[in-house]
């Protein structure tokens, strides 16, 4: 009963929000290096230069002029450049993860640290950096779980190939995969191809200049082919590799029992099931093909693409779970609230975080059941957590009981999914186990960690690490394999 033996308790981060060292050790630029900070009211901006020399910016997620190239302005603060500086603090941070008793640690590799332009040139210094990191993790018995691509798109590929809209990008990505698979084949067993593949759009993550649906879906097709080929290649390099996909799971409820609302919820949930259907079952689902037909979207496939997708299905589903949403039928008014990189209808039954995200532990159990019933593959909660304002008390303590309470409920929901629903859940890596830059808003004050980092939204601070109250609490949870959730 309870969590299985060997359950992968740990924490999760991503290079673009944590690593920093953006111009160090031979690293090349990525699109996210040209994205400013913001806050709950101020959008993050993409800074660019047109080929005729005009410097300008657009809201993150909006279309860029066709001839724009990413541009770093000298007088602008970009939070990803230093982030919370894992690049220089990795030893100290891993020691803190080990102190909490982590069995696993999910991180991403920065594509441009390995291939500075995203092309077929390799930066040995970048490879050596991650060698040290993996060795340090293994020294403590911590299993690395690596996201191959977490939002960062090599700037060179965005500027010159319009990113994932070009078929060539598949080849460059596979070269990067082959390089890291070969290098780390004896150090890393758990991999994931693309972080939150279902919410990738526009220039920041796909490198595409337009926001046109036709172009986005063509890019998504290229991601599917790239992911499937990476899975096959990885298994050839080391048959023990476990290679998963990763989806941003936002469970959508119907706003009422009105059949129109039920249908609206079904359709919203299909938006994420589409990505799992392709990567787990190995084929485009009928509902998506029909939608393409209706909208006149034509995916250009090369001969053999369908077979590649069929062959390269994933070993497990990794997913993020923070919140649920509500859908209502067309024409029906609904109060909208902010969600994970989108706006959703408000659920009157749920409380929200300081950033407006609906807190819904039961939704996690439902999500686990729905996924397991449909796909029958192991599941891995690779992101979950509460973004909150943390107060440092005069004595230096940080009493984040709200975070503990959030995790108590979500861990209990996972336990129910295992014990009552028979879900095969292999691990739990809470997001931003150490404070990192927020992806949605670019802020530092939206914190998720068990470990506090002294840094503010203007990049000021000592970078000193300190343990929050939740640090010892999570240690006790891991020690008891999820049995002792009490907060004394
Ligand atoms: C997920 C991403 O969408 O949610 C992370 O995979 C992100 O990169 C996390 O940080 C939380 O979102 P935010 O906007 O609070 O950082």
CA count, 13 A, side-chain hemisphere, 185: 14
Domains and CATH numbers, the chain: 8-479 (3.20.20.80)
| Dist CA 127 CA 138 (whole Å) | 17
Position 107 scores a pLDDT of 99
Q: How many CA atoms, within 13 angstroms, populate the side-chain half-sphere of residue 487?
A: 15
Q: Does 33 have pLDDT greater than 90? A: yes
Ligand 1 centroid vs 61 CA: distance in angstroms?
15
Residue 455, pLDDT score? 98
124 tagged catalytic? no
Nearest-atom index, ligand 1, CA of 387: 15
State if residue 446 touches ligand 1 by the CB under 6 angstroms criterion: yes
Whole-number average pLDDT of the chain:
96
Rounded Cα gap, residues 335 and 340, in angstroms: 16
Centre of ligand 1 from the C-alpha of residue 147, in Å:
14
Span 101-130, pLDDT tens digits:
999 999 999 999 999 999 999 999 999 999
For 432-484, write each residue's pLDDT tens digit. 999 999 999 999 999 999 999 999 999 999 999 999 999 999 999 999 999 99
State whether the beta carbon of 438 lies less than 6 angstroms from ligand 1.
Answer: yes
d(CA 333, CA 123): 53
Could you give the maximum distance between any two Cα atoms of the chain, in Å?
A: 65
pLDDT (mean) for 225-232: 98
User: What pLDDT was estimated at residue 341?
Assistant: 60
Residue 248 in contact with ligand 1 by CB distance below 6 A: yes
Q: CB neighbours (10 Å) of residue 238?
A: 16
In the numeric block, which tokens belong to residue 382?
Answer: 């690779």
Please choose from 80, 245, 340, 341 the residue to mutate so as to test ligand 1's pocket, defined by most ligand atoms within 8 A of CB. 340
- For 147-157, the pLDDT digits (tens) are 999 999 999 99
440 CB within 6 A, ligand 1: yes
* Distance, CA of 216 to CA of 443 (rounded, Å): 27
Q: Which two tokens stand for residue 413?
A: 């929901």
Q: What is the pLDDT of residues 360-384, one digit of tens each?
A: 999 999 999 999 999 999 999 999 9
> Ligand 1 centroid to 372 CA: how many Å?
24
Q: For residue range 401-422, list pLDDT tens digits in order.
A: 999 999 999 999 999 999 999 9
Known catalytic residue at 383: yes
Query: For residue 341, which atom of ligand 1 is closest to its CA?
Result: 14
List the residue whose alpha carbon is closest to atom 16 of ligand 1: 438
The catalytic residue among 136, 196, 273, 443 is 196
What pLDDT sits at residue 221? Answer: 98
Do 387 and 16 meet the contact criterion of CB atoms below 8 Å apart? no
Q: Is the pLDDT of residue 37 over 90?
A: yes
Distance from Cα 440 to the centre of ligand 1, integer Å: 6
In angstroms, rounded to a whole number, what is the distance separating the alpha carbons of residues 241 and 388? 36
pLDDT tens, residue by residue, 279-329 = 999 999 999 999 999 999 999 999 999 999 999 999 999 999 999 999 999
Residue 420's pLDDT is: 98
Cα-to-chain-centroid distance, residue 215: 22
Q: 176-206 as b/e, with b when 16 or more CB fall inside 10 Å?
A: bbbbbbebbeebbbbbbbbbbbbbbbbbbbb
CA of 124 to the centre of ligand 1 (A): 30
Please determine, for residue 338, whether its predicted confidence score (pLDDT) is greater than 70: no
Asked whether residue 337 carries a pLDDT value surpassing 80, the answer given is no
pLDDT of amino acid 11:
99
| Rounded-to-integer distance, Cα 222 and Cα 305, Å | 9
440, 393 Cβ separation under 8 angstroms: no
| Segment 48-61 mean pLDDT | 95
Task: Name the pairing type of β-strands 379-383 and 425-428.
Answer: parallel
Residue 485's pLDDT band, with cuts at 50, 70 and 90, is very high
Percent of the chain, pLDDT > 90? 95
Catalytic residue among 383, 391, 405, 443: 383
**Both structure tokens of 49:** 């230069």
Determine if ligand 1 sits within 6 Å of the CB of residue 221: no
Backbone angles phi, psi at 98, to 5 degrees: -65, -40
Separation of alpha carbons 339 and 8, rounded Å: 28
pLDDT digits (tens, 9 = 90+) for 149-179: 999 999 999 999 999 999 999 999 999 999 9
Residue 343 confidence class, pLDDT cut points 50, 70, 90: low
Nearest-angstrom CA–CA distance, 152 and 68: 18
Which pLDDT belongs to residue 339?
A: 65
Q: What is the mean pLDDT of residues 248-266?
A: 96
pLDDT confidence band for 344 (50 / 70 / 90): confident
The per-residue b/e assignment along 387-422, b for 16 or more CB within 10 angstroms, e otherwise, is bbebeeeeeeebebeebbebbbebbbbbbbbbeeee
> Are the CB atoms for 155 and 29 separated by under 8 Å?
yes
Instruction: Please give the pLDDT value at position 332.
Output: 83
The DSSP bridge partners found for residue 358 are 352
Position 51 scores a pLDDT of 82
Q: What is the pTM of this model?
A: 0.97
Tell me, in angstroms, the distance from the centre of ligand 1 to residue 224's CA: 22
């Amino acid at each position: 009963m309870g969590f299985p033996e060997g359950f992968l308790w740990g924490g999760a981060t991503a290079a673009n929000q944590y690593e920093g060292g953006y111009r160090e050790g031979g690293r090349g630029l990525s699109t996210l290096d040209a994205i400013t900070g913001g806050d709950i009211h101020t959008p993050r901006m993409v800074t660019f230069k047109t080929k005729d020399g005009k410097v300008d910016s657009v809201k993150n997620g909006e279309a860029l002029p066709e001839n724009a190239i990413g541009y770093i302005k000298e007088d602008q603060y970009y939070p990803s450049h230093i982030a919370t500086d894992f690049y220089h603090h990795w030893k100290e941070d891993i020691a803190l993860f080990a102190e909490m008793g982590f069995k696993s640690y999910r991180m991403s590799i920065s594509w441009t640290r390995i291939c500075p332009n995203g092309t077929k040139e390799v930066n040995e210094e970048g490879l050596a950096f991650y060698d040290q990191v993996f060795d340090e993790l293994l020294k403590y018995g911590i299993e690395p779980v690596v996201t191959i691509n977490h939002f960062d798109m090599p700037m060179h590929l965005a500027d010159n190939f319009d990113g994932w809209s070009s078929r060539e990008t598949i080849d460059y990505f596979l070269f990067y995969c082959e390089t890291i698979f070969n290098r780390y084949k004896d150090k890393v067993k758990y991999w994931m191809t693309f972080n939150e593949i279902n919410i990738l759009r526009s220039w920041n993550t796909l490198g595409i200049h337009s926001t046109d649906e036709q172009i986005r879906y063509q890019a998504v097709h290229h991601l599917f082919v790239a992911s499937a080929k990476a899975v096959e290649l990885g298994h050839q390099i080391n048959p023990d590799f476990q290679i998963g996909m990763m989806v941003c799971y936002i469970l959508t409820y119907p706003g009422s029992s009105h059949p129109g609302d039920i249908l609206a919820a079904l359709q919203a949930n299909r938006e994420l099931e589409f990505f799992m259907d392709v990567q787990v079952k190995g084929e485009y689902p009928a509902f998506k093909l029909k939608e393409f037909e209706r909208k006149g979207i034509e995916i250009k496939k090369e001969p053999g693409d369908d077979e590649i997708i069929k062959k390269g299905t994933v070993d497990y589903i990794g997913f993020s779970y923070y919140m649920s949403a509500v859908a209502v039928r067309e024409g029906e008014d609904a109060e909208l609230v902010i969600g994970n990189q989108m706006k959703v209808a408000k659920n009157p039954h749920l409380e929200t975080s300081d950033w407006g995200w609906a807190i819904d532990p039961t939704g996690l159990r439902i999500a686990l059941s729905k996924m397991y019933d449909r796909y029958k593959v192991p599941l891995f909660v690779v992101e979950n957590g509460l973004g909150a304002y943390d107060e440092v008390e005069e004595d230096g303590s940080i009493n984040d009981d709200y975070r503990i309470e959030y995790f108590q409920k979500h861990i209990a929901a996972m336990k129910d999914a295992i014990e009552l629903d028979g879900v095969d859940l292999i691990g739990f890596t809470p997001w931003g186990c150490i404070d990192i830059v927020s992806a949605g808003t670019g802020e530092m004050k939206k914190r998720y960690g068990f470990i506090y980092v002294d840094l503010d939204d203007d990049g000021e601070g000592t970078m000193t690490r300190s343990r929050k109250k939740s640090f010892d609490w999570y240690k006790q949870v891991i020690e008891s394999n999820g049995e002792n959730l009490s907060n004394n």
